[in-house]
Amino acid sequence: MKPVEPEAARESFKLLLLANPNYFGNLSESTFTPVKSICSNTYYEELVCLGYHPQQKQIEAVVHIYQPSGYGTDICGPGTPEFVRFYLSFDKGATWQDQGMTSFQTHNIPEGTEGEKRLEYAASLPIDPPAKVCWFDPMIEVRAILSWNDPPPSNQPNWKPVWGNVRENSILVEPFRLIPIPVFFEAVKAKLPYPIEKVVDLDKPLPTKIKSLNVAELAELYKDKGVPMHRFAYKEMMAFASGQTIANAQSLATLPTEIGINPDIIEQLKPLTDGDSSYEELTCIGLDPNTPNTMVGVIQVKKPCGYSGDPCSDGSREYVTFWADFDSNGTFETCLGTADVQVYDVNDIPPEGIHYAVRLPVDLAAYRQVCKKGPKVVRIRAILSWNTPVPCTNPNKVPRWGNREETLINIVPVAAEPAGKIAILGNIPVGNIHDVTGLTTATAHFTHNNLPPDDYGRPCPFAGRVNVKGLPVPGWSYMVEVSQYGLMWIPVVTDLEVTDGYGITHDHKADPVTKRFTYLPFNQNVENLLAQWDTAGDAKWYVRLTVYDAGGVAQGTDTHVIQLDNTWPDRSITITTGLGNCGKFPVGTLLEGKFVARDDYLRDFKVYITPIVNTPPIGIPVPSTGLVNTALAPGDDWELDTKDMIPCGYTIHVRARDRAIINSEKNGHRIYDHAGFCLEES
């Protein structure tokens, strides 16, 4: 095969991989011969920053887009995806655990990438690493793999992309704030003379006592650690100087004598030209274009101390305030808001520091434009300030502790569904749900991670809890109802767990008489969640939204149809050779059997054996995977050549999985069946 130039290779990327999966030579183990060597190329895109918000449990990657073309289409077309897969390591990088993947869509946008310009995007993924008691090492490692137009395979942490790169950082996991009692006694190595479960409810965790250290305590803590007074007492000093406290200057005399008050304190409290970033630095900012739109900042914490206490204390806050220059006049008159993250002293901080993230959901609906007007490129300014937020009214402020960053973002075109309509069902845009079948279309994608519900574009049904979302109409109310036949309508009044702009969840209840919810403003409901419908059965159902004005008068309805599938796949597996299930066979026997994997919406099946003690292809059944239904029971044939297998007790499994979007996520019902056998020396 004749090699092609990089620009042409981007245009024909999928076709080249279809002909030769190792065309670019990025696969370390492949039987295919490379044609043109391109691996981890960052000319077009680069994963530059990686951080974690410990309290909100969100991992964030910021990606720079460098070129005006090479991303498929302009803003009116589908563009191409940038995939990011995340891994965590709990043993300093010896092993890695797959956390999942997210993506966002990129387009050819010359307005944001001409000359030295670049667009900055963010990719977000919720993760929930296990917490520890606060006096244990709170750090773990994170690895992220960015890959353009080619999703990184699962459970392959060493995989290299063609276009994209790999980045690793150290992050901090928030410790237990409610400690499970068994965990507490294990942590303190306590030996009790009496069975504790007889006197203590082990199901009720112990709340931790989180202390905020005062100036005197911080002075004592830092007296031999080189943290200056204008650092650890900065917040209190600025509050005193601005008249926001009733404390008097004489109270500073209570500090240890070795701390003292520097005669140059006034000069030391003044910000440097660009802020002091010796303790923390805002390294990247970007926009996550998925739902909800979120401004993201990544912060590098550089020192082991100077953050007002360890993880057993309240620590301190890193604040990032964001502004947008929507009219391109350079004044940054629109403040988007302030986000923060809690940080702590950590003794064993690595040389590259600990990387945190801040997240600010933003309502950009008023600034979207139709794609025919071109991309909406906006300059963003963000200011990091330690322990004291920069006020929204001062986009030109230089922080004493922190720094300032600017970048360009692109705001995706105007939403297809206006306020007062259903925009999303089961985290799928209603435009990606067929009006007649109620199944997803071939181009469907999830709004929160831009991933398809099925890798092959096959239609998918819904199951479990279906989220209903739509833009709010201020001051109005609404009712969501469901009906199987469109005749009798059932109001959906399940209490909503909505998330505000600070990442805090709270309940939102329907009026018990009218069955209507009031529309919440964006900052109280950043997901624009309208209803949560707990489904049952496998029928086709209608979902209807009725909106009411401030006087309670109905102003319109919006109805959509979705197909349910709450039934699990059918599966079975048997051994037909010799004595069948639980039989003993000499090594070298050709084992045969039957298996069933069927569903109206089958995603795939897998046939495999455990334990995995043989080197593939030894010990691999045929078939091992499939995408279509088997025959009805007793099903299709399978076989396993046991030649060269290690004598052992084995189990052969079949796993069947359907394409149902369960609880508004890409899950699918997974179900297994098993049969055991033993291999003996022949």
Over residues 80-90, mean pLDDT: 99
Residues shown for the chain: 682
Q: Are 619 and 644 in contact (CB under 8 A)?
A: no
pLDDT for residue 46: 99
Over residues 110-117, mean pLDDT: 90
d(CA 559, CA 543): 6
Using the 8-state DSSP alphabet, how is residue 163 labeled?
B
Buried b (16+ CB within 10 A) or exposed e, 465-501: ebbbbbbbbeebbbbbbbeeeeeeeebbbeebebbbb
pLDDT for residue 573: 99
DSSP one-letter string for 572-600: EEEE-STT-TTEEEETT-EEEEEEEEE-T
pLDDT for 245 beyond 60: no
pLDDT for residue 176: 84
Residue carrying the six token digits 């990089």? 6
Per-residue pLDDT tens for 7-23? 889 999 999 999 999 99
Q: What is the pTM of this model?
A: 0.90
Lowest mean pLDDT across 156-160, 245-249, 583-587, 644-648: 245-249
Q: pLDDT band at 201, cuts 50/70/90?
A: low
pLDDT for 321 beyond 50: yes
Over residues 365-372, mean pLDDT: 93
Q: What is the CATH number of domain 570-680?
A: 2.60.40.10
Alpha carbon dihedral 524, 527, 531, 536, in 10-degree steps, equals -150
pLDDT for 189 beyond 70: no
Q: pLDDT band at 66, cuts 50/70/90?
A: very high
Over residues 1-5, mean pLDDT: 60
pLDDT for 259 beyond 60: no
d(CA 451, CA 445): 5
pLDDT for residue 567: 98
Give the residue, 267 or 406, on which the prediction is more confident: 406
d(CA 613, CA 462): 38
Over residues 157-176, mean pLDDT: 97
Backbone phi, psi, residue 315, to 5°: 60, -145
Q: pLDDT band at 197, cuts 50/70/90?
A: low
Q: pLDDT band at 205, cuts 50/70/90?
A: confident
Report the mean per-residue pLDDT for the chain.
92
pLDDT for residue 193: 55
pLDDT for residue 261: 54
pLDDT for 602 beyond 90: yes
Give the residue, 542 or 198, on which the prediction is more confident: 542
pLDDT for 166 beyond 60: yes
pLDDT for residue 373: 94
Q: Where are the domains positioned within the chain? A: 1-39, 40-175+276-411, 178-207, 215-269, 424-563, 570-680
Q: pLDDT band at 253, cuts 50/70/90?
A: low
Q: Are 607 and 596 in contact (CB under 8 A)?
A: no
pLDDT for 134 beyond 60: yes
Which stretches of 487-621 are DSSP H helices?
none
* Strand partners for 144: 86, 167
pLDDT for residue 360: 98
% pLDDT > 70, the chain? 90
Per-residue pLDDT tens for 603-636? 999 999 999 999 999 999 999 999 999 999 999 9
Q: Are 109 and 410 in contact (CB under 8 A)?
A: yes
pLDDT for 597 beyond 70: yes
pLDDT for 454 beyond 50: yes
pLDDT for residue 682: 82
Per-residue pLDDT tens for 531-576? 999 999 999 999 999 999 999 999 999 999 999 999 999 999 999 9
d(CA 169, CA 50): 7
pLDDT for 255 beyond 80: no
pLDDT for 337 beyond 80: yes
% pLDDT > 90, the chain? 84
